[in-house]
Structure 1
Amino acid sequence: MTLDNNVNIDDWLPVTSNRNAKWWYSTFHNVTAMVGAGVLSLPFAMSELGWGPGVTVMVLSWVVTLYTLWEMVEMHEMIPGKRFDRYHELGQHAFGEKLGLWIVVPQQLIVEVGSDIVYMVTGGKSMKKIHELVCHDCKPIKLTYFILIFSSVHFVISHLPNLNSVSIISLAAAIMSLSYSTIAWAASLVKGVNENVDYSYRGKTPTAQTMNFFTALGDVAFAFAGHNVVLEIQATMPSSPERPSKEPMWKGVKFAYIVVAICYFPVAWIGYYTFGNSVEDNVLISLEEPVWLIIAANVFVLVHVIGSYQVFAMPVFDMLETFLVKKMKFKPTSILRFVTRNVYVAFTVFVAITFPFFGGLLGFFGGFAFAPTSYFLPCIIWLRICKPKRFSFTWCTNWFCIIFGGLLMMLAPIGALRNIIQTAKNYEFYS
């Protein structure tokens, strides 16, 4: 397929080639992007934060990120006749053509590419766990091989043309996320509280407790990382002066955030209530029984991360294809798309099998990107563009979000760096 020179390149790019999405597309795309398998580590994060700080940080994160998501939805068409279809386009409008790119694109790529690498590792680990539970006496298989098996799916479905074309996969992923989250908290509730349950901090020393606290802040920030694709999701919706895209988009976002609350809060709080500071970093491992239920939950996780990978990959494909066609002057052909997407999937596979502890690395790098893009970069853009009156409610709210997100950005990488150093000491490549 080769496009005629008269055809608008936006009609070929994956984010803008199809604008017929319904409001419910927004719901399950946002759920798929937001509710990653990281929800299963929230009880572990609670064990490092403690009841008071843990509940406070989680509720504040939910409220703050819902507010910043509303701001992004509003800013998508704040200039009549123009749509900011991509996060970096909004950044360029706020900070200038060059500075906007340098502020937004590196952070967005860290979140999207980093998340895809984590999903590769998570998919491989889920397959490995299923194999171990189903076949007790089988010879152990390296995690590397399971990651390679998982990646084979993406070498196929990554060639779907645009975000709307993965909507069925995204819907299945959203249903799966709700399913395994429900299994996690319901099974914990049925199991009942452990004997001699301990809610004291996990670390043995004040230093360890402090570092764990910082790491847990990063885990919570990672759980609210869906903002990086929200403008791209809204770009798939039709818009007219009578019915702008923000109306169906916001309707979908509200439903998505209800699902996020249903998934996050019960898993985090019931899981911690049941196991205390002995909870594993994946609450399903702490449960262990019944085996069939844990197998089912891991199957649901597996399906979910397939969808999550694609929702985060589509904006990356859009960036790569835009750069190659507009800057490097390649012709927009199916061959270009085939090669570009296969190279991207291969790259994420390579990093995943080389650094299967990439989640720790993401906590380090993600502290600089997850918190800004979700918690306070939308607020800075809002202040620059809308210029609310100083000390008004809107001005104060945005500055509160900026301070809260800024603290997360500074503190989370400190604990993550310590974990990376400890993990790397005994790590063997491709083991």
Structure 2
Amino acid sequence: MVIQSPPNNHHIGNMDENLKRQKEIDDWLPITSARNAKWWYSAFHNVTAMVGAGVLGLPFALSQLGWGPGVAILVISWVMTLYTLWQMVEMHEMVPGKRFDRYHELGQHVFGEKLGLWIVVPQQVIVEVGVDIVFLVTGGNSLKKVHDLICANKHCNKIKTTYFIMIFTSVHFVLSHLPNFNSIAGVSVAAAVMSLSYSTIAWASSLHKGIQPDVSYALIGQSDSAKVLNFFSALGTVAFAYAGHNVVLEIQATIPSTPEKPSKDAMWKGVVVAYIVVALCYFPVSLIGYSVFGNVVSDDILVSLEKPVWMIAMANLFVVVHVIGSYQIYAMPVFDMIETVLIKKLNFKPTWSLRFITRNLYVAFTMFVAITFPFFGGLLGFFGGFAFAPTTYFLPCIMWLSIYKPKRFSLSWTVNWICIILGVLIMVLSPIGALRNIILSAKNYSFYS
């Protein structure tokens, strides 16, 4: 006769307690607290994440790339990043019954518990914090432009860019306390509408202005080496423009999912709509802007457009509203990371005061960096190449090859390897050119001017 030992009720009780605590934490963290988003949430979140400061720098990027290479790189980037975004949407629920709600969770599944964190988290943090800094610079510069346009014929006091960045940041000290992605849906909708609006104003005003009499399409740079370095920097600017991948799994995590209706169906529908909007913003702005101004176009197309004053002021206001939403979209995964570490690793209690302190500290940190180093053009190229290229262009492909192991020299294998090679080239080359631009900007710059 076999005597069965009684079940260990204490052990079962502990398991139940741990599961209950885990659920409470997940219900509190920004990424997993709400899973009731519709497919159109995915559309406008992705538009807000992608169409940002980058679109205004695309005509300038074309002036550094030239017509042929510039158009080719824009189109190839659009196709490549749509493909890698599709891969990420597919991989979100590739393990039955499990969802990879965060980019680093997918990385851990592919590369291992520790290595996955080390590969993904540093890149994702650099991207998200870097983008938020660039958005603060963009918002501050756009506010200053509105002020300068309104005061053009009046005797207004000159106000430092630093103060405009601080004014712009003050909004985020309030908005950053919205708990999760779904709670910033209204901000995101407004931001997505604004992106289409100011992009339309940018290309329509350029078209109305007409091609300038002395326009030149010669590459920028006094020497061949300068032209090459500018070319490298422009690659980063383009990479920066196609940069929604860093938050795509986090956005998909907010969509409900069942075996009959997996989240990838709704998410992909939203992504396709978002990419159509991206094309409607990027291609007219870059092609018309460059054809009108040639190689004298500013690194922000709205700076080159000076008339009609009211319309350019309005476009800059639209940019301000848009980057308010974009900042929040990229900040939310950072808040999630910080709060996860504090609660799960350091055993802090999930309270309002914890969220209040950590989020305010994050906003204050990004503001400090933005007012210290507001080199808009150089920052786009540097962050675009150094951090965006891996997470956008080739890391999804490496994960795909590692998980699905397509047959060597098959279509899937070949396409992924082409993306990896092109992505690595962008990652290596663009920061070199961008660093040079930052150094040149720094020569004539005085801190907090």
Structure 1 length-normalised TM: 0.98
| 2:3 corresponds to | none
Q: Which of 130, 134, 142 lines up with 1:114 in the alignment?
A: 130
Of residues 130, 142, 145, the one that matches 2:160 is: 142
**Shift in alpha-carbon separation, 1:325–1:6, aligned structure 2, 3 A:** closer
Q: Could you list the structure 1 runs, at least 4 aligned residues long, displaced by more than 6 angstroms after superposition.
A: none
Structure-2 residue corresponding to 1:340: 358
| Structure 1 position 421, deviation (Å) | 1.6
Cα pair 1:110 1:366 within 8 Å, conserved:
no
2:84 is paired with a residue whose SS is: helix
Equivalent residue number for residue 94 of structure 1: 110
The equivalent position to 1:31 in structure 2, one of 47, 53, 57, is 47
Deviation readout 1:350-382 (Å, 9 max, x if unpaired): 111111116524533442210000000000000
Aligned 1:316-331 pairs, distance under 5 A:
316-331=334-349
Tell me the amino acid that sits aligned with residue 82 of structure 1. K
- Does the CA contact (< 8 Å) of 1:114 and 1:362 recur in 2? no
Match in the other structure for 2:399: 381
TM-aligned CA deviation for residue 423 of structure 1: 1.7
Specify every segment of 5 or more residues in structure 2 that has no aligned partner in the other structure, as ranges.
1-19
2:415 maps to 1:397: yes
CA distance in 1, matches of 2:382, 2:290: 24
Higher Cα Rg: structure 1 or 2?
2
State how 1:126-275 maps to structure 2 within 5 Å: 126-136=142-152, 137-275=155-293
Residues 113-168 of structure 1: CA deviation (Å, up to 9, x unaligned): 00001111111111111111112320100111111111111000100010010001
1: CA distance between counterparts of 2:179 and 2:439? 41
One-letter amino acid matched to 1:100: G
Q: For this pair of structures, how many residues does the alignment match?
A: 428
Alpha-carbon distance between aligned partners in 2 of 1:245 and 1:7, rounded to the nearest angstrom:
20
Return the alpha-carbon distance in structure 1 between the equivalents of residues 130 and 255 of structure 2: 27
Higher mean alpha-carbon deviation, 95-104 vs 354-363, is at 354-363
Unmatched tracts of structure 1, length 5 or more: none
Matched, 1:425 2:434: no
Q: 2 CA distance for matches of 1:154 and 1:311?
A: 12
Alpha-carbon distance in 1 for matches of 2:303, 2:443: 24
Alpha-carbon distance in 1 for matches of 2:351, 2:156: 46
- 2:98 pairs with 1:82: yes
> Could you tell me how far 1:340 is from its partner in structure 2?
0.7
Q: Return the offset for 1:63.
A: 0.2
When residues 359 and 9 of structure 1 are mapped into structure 2, their CA distance, relative to the original with a 3 A threshold, is farther
TM-score of the two chains, using structure 2 as the length reference: 0.94
Worse overlay, 248-257 or 418-427? 418-427
- RMSD of the TM alignment (CA)? 1.1
The CA distance in 2 between the partners of 1:185 and 1:361, in whole Å, is 23
Counterpart among 301, 312, 319 of residue 283 in structure 1: 301
Alignment partners' CA distance in 2, 1:200 and 1:360: 21
Structure 1 CA distance for aligned equivalents of residues 224 and 22 of structure 2? 65
Query: Contact conserved, 1:32 with 1:173, CA < 8 A, in 2?
Result: yes
**Whole-Å Cα distance in 1 between the matches of residues 401 and 24 of structure 2?**
33
Deviation at 1:9, TM superposition (A): 1.1
Question: Structure 1 counterpart of 2:267, which letter?
Answer: M
Partners of 2:138 and 2:376 within 8 A in 1: no
What secondary structure does 2:29 align onto? coil
Measured in 2, the distance between the counterparts of 1:365 and 1:38 equals 11
1:55-96 CA-to-partner distances (Å, cap 9, x unmatched) read 000000000000000000000000000000000000000000
| Residues 238 and 384 in structure 2, CA contact (< 8 A), matched pair in contact too | no
Distance 1:254 1:5 in 2: 38
- Structure 2 counterpart of 1:363, which letter? G
C-alpha separation between the residues in 1 aligned to 2:21 and 2:105?
Answer: 24
Contact 1:271/1:283, CA 8 A, preserved across alignment: yes
Counterpart Cα distance in 1 of 2:57 and 2:263: 35
SS of the equivalent of 1:342 reads helix
1:311 aligns with 2:334: no
* Aligned partner of residue 114 in structure 2, secondary structure: helix
Residue identity over aligned pairs, in percent, reads 73
